[in-house]
Amino acid sequence: MNTLIENAGMSLEMLFLFGLIVGALFCYASETIPMEVTALGVILILLVFFHFAPIIDANGVNQLPTSKILSGFANPAMLTVLALLVVGQGVVKTGILEIFSRHVLSLSMGRLWIATLISLITVLFISAFLNNIPVVIIFIPIMQGIAQRFHVPASKLLMPLSFVAVVGGMTTLVGSGTNLLVSNALIEAGLPGFSFFEFTLPGLLLAGTGLAYVMLIAPKFLPHRTSLSHRMRERLDQHFMAEISIDNDSKLIGQSLGVRMFQELPEINIRMINRLGKTILPPFTGLKLRHGDTIALSATREDLTKLMESGYGLTPAEGYRRNPTSHQKSEQIIVEMMVTPSSSLVDSTIGRTGFEYRHNCQVLGIQHHAHMIRSRMGQAKLSAGDLLLVKCDAETLRGLREDLDVVLVEFSVEELPNLKAANLSICIFMAVVLSAAFGLVPIVISSFFGALAMVVTNVITLPQAARALDHKVITTIAAALALGVAMEATGAATYLANLILSITGTASPTIVLSSFFLLVALMSNIISTKTCAVLFAPIGLHIGAEIGVDPRIFAITIVFAANCAFATPFAYQTSLLVMGPGSYHFKDFFKVGFPLVILIWLVYSAFVPWYYGL
């Protein structure tokens, strides 16, 4: 047996390693075992095997000590990815992306294709500088809102969102964790890492190809399917009765009042005005708003939240509220609470019960279970089954869960954006990007600075930063890096490089590069893109050295090919994020994504000879 293996040019260690890789890929693809468990299992197997069968060089030095196998957990590329996730979370939590997107959507002129194109171009641009996972998270509800506005299912828009975010991440060093991992492979091979914009030009070509595909071709293949989340949104479209006060610096002072005066939020209806203790009912002909007026209106929770953030100079009415303190350093939450049949709130009012004082919260709106409230919100008697739209902080939420007077509607919990920190978050983000782009400090230092600054300046809380760290990212990257160093130490990377060269024979460098791109692109749809990048990076560098082509060209090819995970939903996290909201099936991704993989491969293969002078 040993003779057969040796005749094939393969050692026992290589055979073991290839078997372990195939087994790991099978577990990743089948999802029968959680990815984190599979990744940690791979690391453990490597530790045990190479402890009892060490790789000893001619000088008697162990080439795969325990520290080297575990070095992935402290790898600069992985730490950079995690730090950028925290920075991205800070930008997302301030709501700055949603504010920007609303201004962009105002340019759509009531046409779906314009709204979609502007949104996707925005996503493409932002994904070049922010990790595309938080970008997709923030744009999912935005695309759902566009779908709802134009009466089309979200399944027509969410898969294009994921694909455009991925191709946008191909254009700069920090656009994707995959790019950073390949750059780190260059450094470990003794070559300079990527500069910030090193592959931006070919990246823009492929990004433009992807954008054109999702706008012109993908709609023909996308399913027409409504989702559970869409049906849940219909329930959330029910209106709450709320009251807001006109601040002394409000832009509405002196404006004539209409039933629908908020043009970008047409579903908000004004019910009455309270001025100096006097109630004014519609019609409001000739009535102009004054400082101190209280407007009673009906609105969905989403519109009500947007109205408070709109810059009109409005605040929730405070006439019957007595909040003792406010928690500036804690994350703010909006949640729905249902009044129970045995509640002490039944047949009483919010102001009279002291509910807000007891829980240090604020009731923004009331939704009566049977009819619309006609009196002022603070004077309305509550009934069993009424919903209270409550603003509180994370600490208060724990107390509300224990209050027998109300029941928490679990799926209604939503964190509010920290709008006061929006400018600060942008400054921190720009400092991270510009310091790395101009080479002032390495990207790992700038990203760590940004992550720490987001927490220290209270842009996000420490728990929010911790939630941004994905366990799957940590474990799968660490396992992939462990396999990568094992492939180098055992000679498996060199063996595979020679095997690929023997298959391509005397083909030109263009054919070799094109074939390598297709192989990596197809594999990236079976395993995670980051795992694929780490495993193929040493192979690509060896192939480049063997055929006399700059290894950096192969490294850049891996960046683009490994990011082509469009044909399956599990290879890239953005696909998993949109799978549920879009009600997609596995076959939907293959039907829409596989042609995109082939298209990008063909465009890149045609572009390579001219751009790199092969």
Q: Mean pLDDT throughout 208-222?
A: 94
How many Cα atoms within 13 Å fall on the side-chain side of residue 264?
Answer: 20
Range with lowest mean pLDDT among 253-267, 376-390, 467-481, 487-501: 253-267
CA distance 61 to 54: 9
The pLDDT of residue 597 is 95
Q: How confident is the model at residue 411 (pLDDT cuts 50, 70, 90)?
A: low
Q: What are the tens digits of pLDDT across the range 83-103?
A: 877 887 787 777 666 666 566
Cβ 356 vs Cβ 388: under 8 Å: no
75 occurs within a structural domain: no
Q: Mean pLDDT throughout 294-308?
A: 77
pTM summary value? 0.61
The pLDDT of residue 495 is 78
Does one domain contain both 285 and 396? Answer: no
151 occurs within a structural domain: yes
Does one domain contain both 88 and 224? Answer: yes
Q: What are the tens digits of pLDDT across the range 579-594?
A: 767 778 778 888 999 9
Per-chain mean pLDDT for the chain? 79
The pLDDT of residue 572 is 75
The pLDDT of residue 98 is 61
339 occurs within a structural domain: yes
Q: Mean pLDDT throughout 507-532?
A: 83
Give me 7's structure tokens.
């005749």
Cβ 516 vs Cβ 540: under 8 Å: yes
Give the count of beta carbons closer than 10 Å to the beta carbon of residue 591. Answer: 15
Question: Which residue's entry shows tokens 């849940």?
Answer: 232
Does one domain contain both 175 and 111? Answer: yes
Kindly tell me if the per-residue pLDDT of 505 is higher than 80.
no
Range with lowest mean pLDDT among 30-39, 73-82, 185-194, 228-237: 228-237
Q: How confident is the model at residue 498 (pLDDT cuts 50, 70, 90)?
A: confident
Listed ranges 200-204, 386-390, 443-447; the one with the highest mean pLDDT: 200-204
Does one domain contain both 86 and 223? Answer: yes
Does one domain contain both 190 and 285? Answer: no
Closest CA to 468 of 34, 92, 37: 92
181 occurs within a structural domain: yes
Q: How far is CA 384 from the centre of its chain?
A: 39
Kindly tell me if the per-residue pLDDT of 571 is higher than 70.
no
Quote the domain boundaries for residue 122: 80-228+420-458
CA distance 528 to 187: 22
52 occurs within a structural domain: no
Does one domain contain both 191 and 89? Answer: yes
φ, ψ of residue 408 to 5 degrees: the values are: -70, 130
Does one domain contain both 84 and 224? Answer: yes
CA distance 51 to 42: 14
Name the strand (E) or helix (H) holding 406: strand 406-408
Does one domain contain both 386 and 252? Answer: no
Here the CATH number for the domain that contains residue 248 is 3.30.70.1450
Give me 183's structure tokens.
């750059």
What is the radius of gyration, based on Cα positions, of the chain?
28
Cβ 133 vs Cβ 85: under 8 Å: yes
Cβ 428 vs Cβ 450: under 8 Å: yes
Q: How confident is the model at residue 169 (pLDDT cuts 50, 70, 90)?
A: very high
Number of domains within the chain: 3
Q: Mean pLDDT throughout 199-211?
A: 95
CA distance 399 to 135: 33
CA distance 339 to 326: 24
φ, ψ of residue 108 to 5 degrees: the values are: -75, -15
Q: How confident is the model at residue 229 (pLDDT cuts 50, 70, 90)?
A: very low
Q: What are the tens digits of pLDDT across the range 132-161?
A: 777 776 677 678 767 877 778 888 999 999
Does one domain contain both 90 and 143? Answer: yes
Does one domain contain both 214 and 121? Answer: yes
